[in-house]
Structure 1
Amino acid sequence: MKRSIFKAIAGALFIAAAIPLAHAQDAAKSAYAEVNGMKMYYEVSGSGDPLIVLHGAYMNIPSMGKIIPMLAKNHQVYALEFQGHGRTNDIDRPITYANLADDTAAFMDAVGVKKADVFGYSMGAGAGLQLAIRHPDKVTRLVAASTAYDAEGFQPEYKAFIPQMSVEMFVGMPFAQEYRKLAANPDGFPALVKKLIALEHEPMAWGTDVNAVKAPVLIITADADVTTLEHSVALFRLLGGGAMGDMGKPLSASRLAVMPATSHTAIIAQPELLEAFVEPFLKDETPKGMFQ
């Protein structure tokens, strides 16, 4: 049973990593920034207010798919590749959500972006949430697609799977070969897997910190996600959401969206639906009710 869960998750990761890069992304400008001892690879596309895009674990800019060029229609998108991912080199340091957030803040300083909207998916969403906690002056609005704020919010099947993770499980998967195509160190995949497994064991209980976040947050979750729906609702309530509208008070600045018939890795494969949630939030647009 546990092995079949692993095969399903690993296969889904490969599918996510294999999402083709949209042709519009070919116009992006690429560069490296010196960030905390790394040469961090990034791409800039579009024009408008800055929007930082943060990818998930085992991913890179291409595997984020069409959502980047779609967002670039209305924003200047800065898509970066985290430590040990894509074309960014690994360093002698663990991968933690705090480190990822601090790297993002340092990246913004390096490229001259004082404050920006942020879109994060999976691990990138956790990094975005930590960015809003640790560097609140840098985040205007945050889109957090498929994230947790407490380890107790993961689905029971996933919590049972985490202790079974091993480097050997991942190095034989097809996306291990995909890693070599872009990696600064083509032989660095086992070391990356070891760090990402350690990240899964990182203590996560951010409730008090999340409750203090001032930036509006759009939580996007799948109805069959790695976290429970109850956890996403609890996160929404921590951010001030969940009260009744139409009672004369303004709606919460934060929002919650649930994608139907969708698993964790299928979120990023639906860019049109994502864009339909993200753009009104970033523009601070809300549907008008009959009492308005």
Structure 2
Amino acid sequence: MKSKAQSIAVSGLWIHTVCVFTVLALTSFVCAGQKTPVGKYAEINGLKMYYEVSGQGDPLIVLHGAYMDIPSMGSIIPKLAETHKVYALEFQGHGRTADIDRPITYQNLADDVAALMETLDIDSADVFGYSMGSAAGLQLAIRHPEKVKKLVAASVAYDFKGWQPAFQEFVPQMTVEMFLSMPHFQEARQQSQDPDRFPEVIRKLIALEKEPMAWEEQVKSLKTPVLIISGDADVATLEHTVALFRHLGGGVMGDMGVPLPASRLAIMPATAHTAVISQPEMLHAFIEPFLLGAVPKGMFEQTDY
């Protein structure tokens, strides 16, 4: 008999950790008219990190979620590459970046991004992260603020307590064997750079889920403009997401003759965690105006006729 927690996992409430393998069947990385991205490797922090470059314009770093890779981010990457030079990377133990003898932590992931930027002579860039990648993006802005112009953080939390209660309850039940018994992970293991090491990657990612995070004071001190994107049924609670927005100066009243805060909040309706990344049109409609600094005019603002 399965425990209640295991039943919840199978039904899908633990999708934050599984992430979006099914997106691969729903989206295509290369859209019509988009040139095939150029894939390369960079030696940084003991890793041979894989990354792809596509598009032209100001640099934009794209950070994927746990158990994901560049293709599973779907068509949001080529859409962003229409107006930006996109650098999409694959984290330690993910995709074509092999694992190394080091824990997977948000701090390590952030430092890897910073090291890649230095290797590529990118002084600063905008950053778009999803799920694990968004938390790594937060740490990048905290640890290397000079490297992040603007941060788009989709499905993010700054404290373990910000996750939905169902997910918090399930985390202690996670095991390597549970993941390896699932078809998606069996396939991912075969596609891994080192199939024999894949269980160790899962173990590290389970350990990552147990991290308390507790970055409230660090978040409050951020000067980087952040666009927070969340599904209304995401893995982070709406209350936590709004609290993050307020920590960044958001949540004030407009139409009072003062500029709006630099940070922004966008909630995607009828959207669970994995459905966030499967809606590239909506994501792009939020991200592009933020990166451009475009602000809708209110009816009380002066308009030139």
Normalising by the smaller structure, the TM-score range is over 0.9
How far off its partner does 1:13 sit? 4.1
**One-letter amino acid of the structure 2 residue matched with residue 6 of structure 1:** A
Find the counterpart in structure 2 of residue 273 from structure 1: 282
Asked if residue 57 in structure 1 is aligned to residue 60 in structure 2, the reply is: no
Find the counterpart in structure 1 of residue 22 from structure 2: 15
Find the counterpart in structure 1 of residue 7 from structure 2: 4
Q: Percent identity?
A: 64
Question: Which has the higher Rg, Structure 1 or Structure 2?
Answer: 2
CA distance in 1, matches of 2:226, 2:26: 26
Q: Which moved more, 1:19-28 or 1:236-245?
A: 19-28
Within a 5 Å distance, the mapping from 1:108-119 to structure 2 comes to 108-119=117-128
Find the counterpart in structure 1 of residue 227 from structure 2: 218
Cα deviation code 1:12-65 (max 9, x no counterpart): 644245554333366100000011001000000000000000000000000000
Whether the aligned pair in 2 keeps the contact of 1:19 and 1:63 (CA below 8 Å) is no
- The SS at the match of 1:27 is coil
- The SS at the match of 1:265 is helix
Within a 5 Å distance, the mapping from 1:125-274 to structure 2 comes to 125-180=134-189, 182-274=191-283
How far off its partner does 1:5 sit? 1.8
Q: When the two structures are aligned, how many residues end up with a matched partner?
A: 292
CA distance in 2, matches of 1:178, 1:53: 24
Whether the aligned pair in 2 keeps the contact of 1:122 and 1:147 (CA below 8 Å) is yes
Cα deviation code 1:88-143 (max 9, x no counterpart): 01010000000000000001111111100000000000000000000000000000
TM-score of the aligned structures, taking structure 2 as reference length = 0.93
The equivalent position to 1:283 in structure 2, one of 287, 292, 303, is 292
**One-letter amino acid of the structure 2 residue matched with residue 177 of structure 1:** Q
Whether the aligned pair in 2 keeps the contact of 1:13 and 1:175 (CA below 8 Å) is no
CA distance in 1, matches of 2:20, 2:291: 28
Within a 5 Å distance, the mapping from 1:40-55 to structure 2 comes to 40-55=49-64
Whether the aligned pair in 1 keeps the contact of 2:229 and 2:265 (CA below 8 Å) is yes
Segments of 4+ moved more than 6 angstroms: none
CA distance in 2, matches of 1:169, 1:211: 37
Question: Judging changes above 3 Å, is the alpha-carbon distance between structure 1 residues 134 and 19 closer, same or farther for their aligned structure 2 residues?
Answer: farther
Question: Judging changes above 3 Å, is the alpha-carbon distance between structure 1 residues 83 and 119 closer, same or farther for their aligned structure 2 residues?
Answer: same
Asked if residue 90 in structure 1 is aligned to residue 99 in structure 2, the reply is: yes
How far off its partner does 1:182 sit? 4.1
Asked if residue 33 in structure 1 is aligned to residue 42 in structure 2, the reply is: yes
Whether the aligned pair in 1 keeps the contact of 2:231 and 2:271 (CA below 8 Å) is yes
CA distance in 2, matches of 1:213, 1:72: 27
The equivalent position to 1:71 in structure 2, one of 72, 80, 84, is 80
Q: Which runs of 5+ in 2 are unaligned?
A: none
- The SS at the match of 2:245 is helix
Question: Judging changes above 3 Å, is the alpha-carbon distance between structure 1 residues 83 and 106 closer, same or farther for their aligned structure 2 residues?
Answer: same
Question: Judging changes above 3 Å, is the alpha-carbon distance between structure 1 residues 42 and 73 closer, same or farther for their aligned structure 2 residues?
Answer: same
Whether the aligned pair in 2 keeps the contact of 1:19 and 1:62 (CA below 8 Å) is no
**RMSD over aligned Cα, in angstroms?**
1.4
**One-letter amino acid of the structure 1 residue matched with residue 30 of structure 2:** H
